[in-house]
Structure 1
Amino acid sequence: MTKRNAPHISVLLREVIEILAPKDGEVFVDGTFGAGGYSQAILEAANCVVYGIDRDPLAISIGHKMADKYSGRLRMLEGCYADMEMLLAAKGLSAVDGIALDIGVSSMQIDEADRGFSFMRDGPLDMRMSSKGRTAAEVVNEESEAELARIIFVYGEERRSRAIARVVVERREVKPFTSTVELAEAVASVVRPTGKGIHPATRTFQALRIFVNDELGQLVKGLAASERLLTPSGRLAVVSFQSLEDRRVKNFLSARSEGRARPSRHVPVNDEGPAPSFKLVKRGAIKAREDELTANSRSRSARLRGAIRTSAKAWDEVAA
């Protein structure tokens, strides 16, 4: 397995811990465990318990090794954070005091060429965060030209999606795509560099990764599960790196912090609608401070949104 020896740095770590404000005796969920940076910081901040969730077997392995240091206070669960209710219920838990989510691919996964997330190093065109489901190669080689264009446009916000889909279909008829470099070269043949140092294949790779792992679907389910699991005064911290993700987090929390759902600000509030289930920690997203921007370039695109659970029922419970 090819790796790059760069340490994984948890983005906006200080700010996440400020939102979660761990206290002795509390229970937390690190829904996207990764290399365990958030879990470790939570455990160091208070004599509490953290359930680390991840669908990546490598992350689970890291977590089990880390757990030895914390005398049973770190407990690993293999699976997706969208299924956290089911995973926690199997352990007898139906409520927690705080949840941290770091949405998207981790630098640890990108650094492993064999995972196929990056076009910077040649590797198999995989992109799965777990070992289940279709690979990116299967999507690229099997989907129709129209569907490929849709995936690349919707999940990558790539304006040249039709041209990319066309060249992909033309080339796969000669030889199916198997590696990251092959796909990156195909995309680069029809997408011009921006002049900002961004590789032409960046948006296409983002789109395929999100599609293969159903990241937006998992995010929507995970946010709803968080609303149901958090106790009154429970804290939620969500870090995202793409506008597609951040927009969903923003809309979810904004609606539930204002309450009384309405289709537009110009439409009168429905007084019979659900009461606010969250209180925002801050209006707008929290961004990395200057010292973190200097130390970790990945933090430049990071957006953190935090909220505190009220005593109101979860919105889907009200609708039911």
Structure 2
Amino acid sequence: MPDIRGFNVNGSTNTNKDEVARSTAAAATIAEEYDRQKSIGQYKGRDLATVFASEIAEHESIYAWLHSRVQDADFSGLRIGDYMDVPVSAGSNVPAQTVRYLLAAVDPYYKCSDQPMSHHLAFVPAAPVLVSGSKATNTSYIMWNTTATNNGNATVKEPYLASHLHGWEINDYLPALPAALRNVLINHRSLCEQRYGSSALTEASGWGWGDLGKVWSLSEMEVYGCAVWGSKGYSVGMDCHFPLFDSTASRIMGENVYWWLRSVVGGSASHVCSVFSNGTADGNSAASGWIRPRPCFLIG
């Protein structure tokens, strides 16, 4: 295509190329293409470290850059599905692995809960992560509980907060994340289902505000946009649907593996909500040994 930069009049060159207009038009064209890809479920995401390399270079790490953006409530240029690769260190129950984290939601819980949350970005692993050591079953999977119960206990009435899965997330997986990332994570405080009584319960006994901590599993509401197998009302609480999960295919993320949710199944004292390997909603015994975790976090 001809690129006319100017014209000559009596030996003098007059520039007529508008670099700003061309740059703006090119950016609009790219944005339009990303929107088109998203509308048909074909947006593959962009590597944040590459797209924003010049900005990130002004900070100590990509995590510090994201923290700075959040503190300024500046989400310009960020798109749901964009990603960063996080190196996870080997631990007693966590194998060394690189986990791709996708931007799943922007400020989904801003000013929410009994302790209003600050600005934040929610990140979700592109695929379930691997477990190792004494807490692993079948080499790289994990039980939600080591016994088939979805109830809490006398000390912690919230089933998820008392679970074997959450214990691994907080005590094993969180310390394996880069220190620079841990430094910018914030607590996810949510309205949690409680299920505890003098005998095993099959439905919620109530709910209460609880700290999920800096690493946590998704709820049915965050994945499906509604309660499917979880208890009505109590299993939803404060949760909202994350825009990353805009299709059934988006729950698979290219790897056909079961993965745990933090919601427990209504009408059962032993089953927990999960996502089936084909993306459908499911429920399994809390002691199932063939399901993997998908630990998420909020950068704030």
Shorter-chain TM-score: what band?
under 0.3
TM-score by length of 2: 0.23
**Structure with more of its chain in helix, by fraction:** 1
**Structure with more of its chain in strand, by fraction:** 2
